[in-house]
Each structure stands twice: as C-alpha cells, then as structure tokens.
Structure 1
Amino acid sequence: MNINKIARRLQKDRPMTMVSIRIPDDVIEDLKRVAPKLGFSGYQALIKAYIGQGLRADLERLENSIEVSALIESLRKKGVKEEIISSAMAEVRNSA
C-alpha cells in the first residue's frame, strides 16, 4: 500500500457509510466479551478492526500477486524460458 493511502486511512475524520449486517447473537455476545479484553471501547470497534486486518491482508496479497504477474510477463518478454519461470515459481512456493 502506498504512503498516500496509509496517510488517508489514519485520518480520524474520514467519511463513513452506515452498513447493516446480520450476525448471530452468540457471535455478538462473544465480541462484546472479547472487545474490552483486547482494549476496544466496544464490539463495533472490534468488528471494524477485524475487517481492517482482513482487508489489509487481502490487499497486500492481491497487490503482490499483481506485481508477481507483471514480473513474470516481463521475464517472458525478455526471453526467459517458461520452464525456468515455472521452476522458480515452484521453488518460491516450496520455501513459503
């Protein structure tokens, strides 16, 4: 994520949109119980934190995937053989 996006996300006065979701009662009770133990003012703040964590992880994974795809395409254009690219990708997957 670039520095401008990070700076915007840290602003306290960002525009907000109200959403409504249905969550089972027992999950809400668990969130209410866990939130103060994790230092949150309430369960809604905890839900926002969970959504933010998941979103950041997915964005990072997707952005890295796009960068890897661009790198692979560039290697192909430069004449790197497909079997070398495949071998390198397998090596990276196995080391992760």
Structure 2
Amino acid sequence: MTTITIRMPEDVIEDLKRIAPLLGFSGYQPLARAYIGQGLRVDLERLEEDHVSELIASLRRHGVSDDVLQAALQEVIKPVANELSDS
C-alpha cells in the first residue's frame, strides 16, 4: 500500500462514514478504496475491450478467418472464466 493525500468534499466523507458499516466495511477509507478500485476496473475493462475489438478488426482486414478468431478468443476466454468461477 502507498499513502496518498486526496481532497474530497466533507459531505462525501460523511456519506462514506455513514454507509461503510452498512456495507460491511471497517471504515470509510476501505470503502473509498473499493469504489476507486471498482471504477478503475470498469474503465480498464472497457478500454481493453476497445483494443481487442480494434485488434480483431485489423486481423480480419489481414485475412484472418472468423473461425480462427473465434478459436483464439475461446482459448483466452475459457481460462479467465475459470479463474473467475474459482474465486
């Protein structure tokens, strides 16, 4: 972990303090970290999907068949799905 300082509106901090225990968090800081992490993961996934879509389009332009693309995607998606189900 790295210590940072961030300025936030007081009402946001008060709201975090109020709902943190209701959501099972030990305090407002772990809840804030969770919110930041969730937002980051959503953005990373969206951006990575954009790159994957661009890559697939480029491969199609270069003559890679849909069958080959589907097979390759399945090789990548299955391990990720298995990891998620194991969590």
Q: Same fold (TM over 0.5)?
A: yes
Q: Which amino acid aligns with 1:48?
A: R
User: CA offset at residue 37 of structure 1?
Assistant: 0.4
Q: 2:70 matched to which residue of 1?
A: none
Q: Which amino acid aligns with 1:69?
A: E
* Higher percent of residues as helix: 2
Q: 1:44 matched to which residue of 2?
A: 29
Q: Which amino acid aligns with 2:32?
A: I
Residues 37 and 79 (structure 1 numbering): CA distance in 2 closer, same or farther, change over 3 Å?
Answer: closer
User: CA offset at residue 64 of structure 1?
Assistant: 1.1
Tell me the distance in 2 between the aligned counterparts of 1:34 and 1:79.
51
| RMSD over equivalenced CA pairs, Å | 1.6
Q: 2:40 matched to which residue of 1?
A: 55
User: CA offset at residue 63 of structure 1?
Assistant: 1.1
Calculate the TM-score normalised by the size of structure 1.
0.63
Q: Deviations over 1:18-57 (max 9, x none)?
A: 1111001111001000100000000000000001111111
Tell me the distance in 2 between the aligned counterparts of 1:54 and 1:46.
12
Q: Which runs of 5 or more structure 2 residues have no equivalent in the other structure?
A: 66-87
Query: What is the percent sequence identity of the aligned residues?
Result: 58
